[in-house]
Structure 1
Amino acid sequence: MNLTTYLQAGYPGLAIVSSEEARLEAEVATVCKDLERKLLAWSSTEGLVDTQEGRVTPCPDPLDALELLDTPFNTDTPRLVVLLRDLQLYLDQNDPQLLRRLKDSLRLAKGNGHTVLLLGCRLKLPPELKHEITVIDYQLPSPAELQVVLDGIIKSAELKRVSRELRESALQSALGLTTTEAENAFALSIIESKGINPTIIAREKANTLKRSGLLEVIPATTSLADIGGLNNLKQWLQGRAGSFHSRAVEYGLPSPKGLLIVGLPGTGKSLTAKATAGAFGLPLLRLDMGRVFGGVVGQSEANLRTVVATAEAIAPCVLWIDEIEKGFSGSKSSGSTDGGTSSRVFGSFLSWMQEKEKPVFVVATANDVSQLPPEFLRKGRFDEMFFVDLPDTNERTAIWDIVIGKYGRKPTDYDPVVLAQACEQFTGAEIEAVFVDALHAAFAEGREPVAEDILTALLNTVPLAQLMDGKIASLRHWAKGRAREAGNSTPSRSRPARRIDPGAN
């Protein structure tokens, strides 16, 4: 936070959005002490408080508090910093007298070097104040700040022999939390496990982010071995698995920016996003772009800032955005439907992807690339763009091996090669659904599934590719020369489906 610079430059109106009131006020007090500024703090419950002398002037109405500041604001010594808590609640009421008084106070403050600082967990400035007040970004706590919290918890609990490796693991698990949330997670870890347990801390972080409704922590339990085919894509990921290591930084290697995966539903795009985090050994965050957009003016932009701040605090990490075209399709409009909100959020997101310095690897998936604006696809946004086609025979064979093993059966009890030949134009998701259908049929008869059950389920399934042959042709035409092939391109993908009679030998 560059509050010191803004105060030295003489900004009369500042605002900081944060739910960490205690940590923020402590930093403001430190800055004021270093700059020899007098700090006054107001709230509707305490009134106007002189933090140095402890003098309190009761005034629950912010209008009265601003009137009390007229006299000191008309002098140039000592320079004041006036902290106003939760003023947003009063700005929401559109009180014209309060707006006028605040503008007058800012003008007086500007003339004599004073500063009015708004503090709250949200901010939506009315048009009258948008050019009068500057918003300062406030980052989530750094590892060093969380270290102080962790040390305090360890000392309070009288824990002994907490290794350095365990401390670092606990801090990594807590990144992205506020100091209060981290303190609660550390304390819960001690209560549940009688010590510092990074797994419990990570679980609480996942629950906290999930409650926010914007980001979700996904356990990185999927590996590249769980993906059938897509060898080109997997090799590309394996080649960048060490790019987030400290050795890469010393080598001068920039952190990878991200990956865009385009293809039909069910072809393994989402599975690849999960496997990417496993291959890189990084935490996986899932962003639902639909939740970013809010109904209140300014809420969407604030939500995106929260997402970016959280992802960068947890970095290095993988940020997964599924079906990204659904979130940004509205950015191509003129703004007549949403007042330009989609375009502003889209522009902010592109700028962040282009300029981000923190190691946040973005994995975006898309089914309908035609809905994405052209500027989203140009080089520099992502390191690479891959097209996932329908699996060929070899890839389907690998998928059958994985699916059969996933449900506790031995692939050698079946013939994955024959099954692969019988399900041309099937996606990986459809192959798994077919095997599940066979399991249900066999379970109903109290036996293990056999090849005939699988082939019967295949006959009863119409693959999505047959219903979307025109869409597939269009995607393939678009991807040619624009995106790299994720798997091994073979002519078998375009041949009509071959059926096998389940009664045949």
Structure 2
Amino acid sequence: MQHQLTTYLRAGYPGLAVITPEEVRAEAEIAAACTTLGHRLHAWSSSEGLVDTAEKRINSCPDPLEALQLIEQLFASEEPRHVVVMRDLQLHLDQTDPLLIRRIKDLLRIAKAGGHALILLGCRLKLPAELEHEITHVDFRLPDSAQLGTVLDGILKSAKIKNVHPVVRESALQCALGLTTTEAENAFALSVVETKGIDHKVVAREKARTLKRNGLVEVVEATTSLDDIGGLGLLKEWLTRRAGAFSESAKSYGLPAPKGLLIVGIPGTGKSLTAKATARAFGLPLLRLDMGCVFGGIVGQSEANLRSVIQTAEAIAPCVLWIDEIEKGFSGSKSSGSSDGGTSSRVFGSFLSWMQEKTKAAFVVATANDVSKLPPEFLRKGRFDEMFFVDLPDALERAQIWDIVIARHGRKARDFDTVALARACEQFTGAEIEAVFIDAMHEAYAEGKEPGPKEILEATARTVPLARLMDGQITALRQWAQGRAREAAKRNATTPRDSRRVADAN
């Protein structure tokens, strides 16, 4: 941020805004920019008043209107040029005081004439319409490895820990990416207390807790591999061939990092399972985004939440960002904005722009059940590298799914005739196949024996597959996918198209 801030100040921008929870780090970079330019730095807060950071002189003025009067006096002088940081002014702007807004506009005009600057610093900022075009936002990204390394070195020095292996240090820093400096410092300190050293597992655990607490993204442990998916041969082959595209050798080759993958299909056919397996296949951390949590009730909160998600994903990159049932999150983007003031459209537009222009290796895996709710511009090439359609599993794939499900629940697949079981559950999804086996296990346990063909067939007869309940919707989805999306599994000419694809055993 320092370089961008220095450029803005040199160009004479009178009003700037830095949105971040890292107040200390932001103020340090602002101070460095002022030192470079020879500007005089002041800081205001309702608790401390207006402070001259060089002379440590304090003017007690908890009221922002009173502070603006003092700042106007500073800006009246031509030399030196002054930069004033106002902390948490949003809390006062929320009151929509017309006098405060007018005073800020007048002050920005004076600042422009004298080469001074007013910087708003806080965790959020929603400017009134009168100030939207007067104040410029300055990007403030989460700390990178080098900045986190400084934090880690400080923790190691205070704990008197020496000779940390470079591999151990780098692993801890990689696990801390996506955290603020304060959060990373806490994670490093906890690792020292628990392990008497630096353990990347402790740091990763704390990051997962921190991100989950924030409620927007969470770190998901990628324990599922491509071998845990029955069928989906074409999709798995596509993922395998792109697993090395995030390496340094791929960069040297001139190969851009893959952008993402959209998987559409019938519920329960393995889309979510594939998203988890993708992270394992790529060897990258997996982040799960809940689009429902992005939309907030406060004006401007939804857009700020999306910016926070993007910052986190780009800080952790390379990573896999998983968005499940994405059509539910963006279903309102087609509306005119009458229902939510255009919030859905703005968030959707920002997400599309990021997908198109992003340079960080954040691979997006999005799943969708109802593509009719997705706007056409979301589906075009350039946003995702490829779009796959996942249909119901055919007989061969159902047999593979039975093998996986039986083994997952601690039994040996060779003890069952999975080919016969596959024939008995025609039009079943993978999720329904697992539900049938669990039902059979309950019945067998109640009778004090192992599940056998009798219990499984009875459970199958009790289950009405989704394919029968949604016959019309599935037919429409198949028709839509023809010519628009790639098949996720290889067609078998010897088997009827009673079903097509794979299982989500979750």
SS in 1 for 2:118: strand
The one-letter code sitting in structure 2 at the alignment partner of 1:113 is G
Contact 1:425 1:493 in 2 (8 A): no
The one-letter code sitting in structure 2 at the alignment partner of 1:416 is T
Paired residue for 1:374?
376
Specify which of 163, 173, 176 is matched with residue 174 of structure 1.
Answer: 176
The one-letter code sitting in structure 1 at the alignment partner of 2:468 is Q
Contact 1:16 1:137 in 2 (8 A): yes
Choose 190-199 or 299-308, whichever is displaced more: 190-199
Compute the displacement of 1:161 (Å): 3.0
Q: Distance in 2 between matches of 1:335 and 1:54?
A: 50
The one-letter code sitting in structure 1 at the alignment partner of 2:96 is N
Question: What are the Cα deviations for residues 11-34 of structure 1, in whole angstroms up to 9, with x where unaligned?
Answer: 101011000011111111111001
Q: Distance in 2 between matches of 1:80 and 1:442?
A: 79
Change (3 A) 1:493 1:76: farther
Paired residue for 2:100?
98
Paired residue for 1:402?
404
Paired residue for 1:6?
8
Question: What are the Cα deviations for residues 79-118 of structure 1, in whole angstroms up to 9, with x where unaligned?
Answer: 1100001111111111122111111111110110000000
Compute the displacement of 1:53 (Å): 0.9
The one-letter code sitting in structure 2 at the alignment partner of 1:108 is I
SS in 2 for 1:318: strand
Question: What are the Cα deviations for residues 168-212 of structure 1, in whole angstroms up to 9, with x where unaligned?
Answer: 110010000000000000111111122111111111101111111
Paired residue for 1:417?
419
The one-letter code sitting in structure 1 at the alignment partner of 2:399 is T
Compute the displacement of 1:122 (Å): 0.8
Paired residue for 2:131?
129
Paired residue for 1:63?
65
Contact 1:434 1:461 in 2 (8 A): yes
Contact 1:390 1:493 in 2 (8 A): no
Choose 383-392 or 329-338, whichever is displaced more: 329-338
Q: Map 1:38-187 to 2 at 5 A.
A: 38-187=40-189
SS in 1 for 2:246: coil
Question: What are the Cα deviations for residues 250-299 of structure 1, in whole angstroms up to 9, with x where unaligned?
Answer: 11110000000000100000000000000000000001111111111111
Q: Distance in 2 between matches of 1:480 and 1:52?
A: 68
Paired residue for 2:491?
489
The one-letter code sitting in structure 2 at the alignment partner of 1:31 is A
Specify which of 287, 290, 306 is matched with residue 288 of structure 1.
Answer: 290
The one-letter code sitting in structure 2 at the alignment partner of 1:248 is A
Contact 1:311 1:360 in 2 (8 A): yes
Compute the displacement of 1:496 (Å): 9.1
Contact 1:424 1:493 in 2 (8 A): no
Specify which of 446, 450, 453 is matched with residue 451 of structure 1.
Answer: 453
SS in 1 for 2:86: strand
Contact 2:323 2:365 in 1 (8 A): yes
Specify which of 438, 441, 446 is matched with residue 440 of structure 2.
Answer: 438
Contact 1:323 1:367 in 2 (8 A): yes
Change (3 A) 1:493 1:14: farther
Paired residue for 1:219?
221
Question: What are the Cα deviations for residues 49-70 of structure 1, in whole angstroms up to 9, with x where unaligned?
Answer: 1111111111111111110122
Contact 2:393 2:427 in 1 (8 A): yes
Paired residue for 1:500?
none
Paired residue for 2:259?
257
Contact 2:391 2:499 in 1 (8 A): no
Paired residue for 1:502?
none
Aligned length: 497
The one-letter code sitting in structure 2 at the alignment partner of 1:295 is G
Change (3 A) 1:272 1:432: same
Q: Distance in 2 between matches of 1:106 and 1:493?
A: 72
The one-letter code sitting in structure 2 at the alignment partner of 1:473 is T
Structure-1-length-normalised TM-score: 0.97
The one-letter code sitting in structure 2 at the alignment partner of 1:116 is L
Question: What are the Cα deviations for residues 112-134 of structure 1, in whole angstroms up to 9, with x where unaligned?
Answer: 00000000011111111111111
Change (3 A) 1:361 1:385: same
Q: Distance in 1 between matches of 2:434 and 2:73?
A: 75
SS in 1 for 2:244: coil
Compute the displacement of 1:160 (Å): 2.9
% of aligned pairs identical? 70
Compute the displacement of 1:488 (Å): 2.0
Paired residue for 1:333?
335
Paired residue for 1:33?
35
The one-letter code sitting in structure 2 at the alignment partner of 1:74 is A
Contact 2:16 2:135 in 1 (8 A): yes
SS in 2 for 1:365: strand
Runs of 4 or more, structure 1, over 4 Å off, are: none
Gaps of 5+ in 2: 501-506
- Aligned pair 1:210/2:216, yes or no? no
Q: Distance in 2 between matches of 1:296 and 1:380?
A: 32
The one-letter code sitting in structure 2 at the alignment partner of 1:369 is V
SS in 2 for 1:11: coil
Question: What are the Cα deviations for residues 151-171 of structure 1, in whole angstroms up to 9, with x where unaligned?
Answer: 111111112331111111100
Question: What are the Cα deviations for residues 311-343 of structure 1, in whole angstroms up to 9, with x where unaligned?
Answer: 000000000000000011111111111111111
Compute the displacement of 1:228 (Å): 0.6
Q: Distance in 1 between matches of 2:490 and 2:409?
A: 27
The one-letter code sitting in structure 1 at the alignment partner of 2:335 is S
Q: Distance in 2 between matches of 1:409 and 1:466?
A: 30
Q: Map 1:222-261 to 2 at 5 A.
A: 222-261=224-263
Cα RMSD of the aligned pairs, angstroms, is 1.2
The one-letter code sitting in structure 1 at the alignment partner of 2:28 is A
The one-letter code sitting in structure 2 at the alignment partner of 1:160 is K
The one-letter code sitting in structure 1 at the alignment partner of 2:412 is K
Structure-2-length-normalised TM-score: 0.97
The one-letter code sitting in structure 1 at the alignment partner of 2:120 is L
Change (3 A) 1:33 1:456: same
Paired residue for 1:480?
482
The one-letter code sitting in structure 2 at the alignment partner of 1:383 is D
Gaps of 5+ in 1: 498-505
Contact 2:394 2:499 in 1 (8 A): no
- Aligned pair 1:391/2:393, yes or no? yes
Paired residue for 1:461?
463
Compute the displacement of 1:495 (Å): 3.6
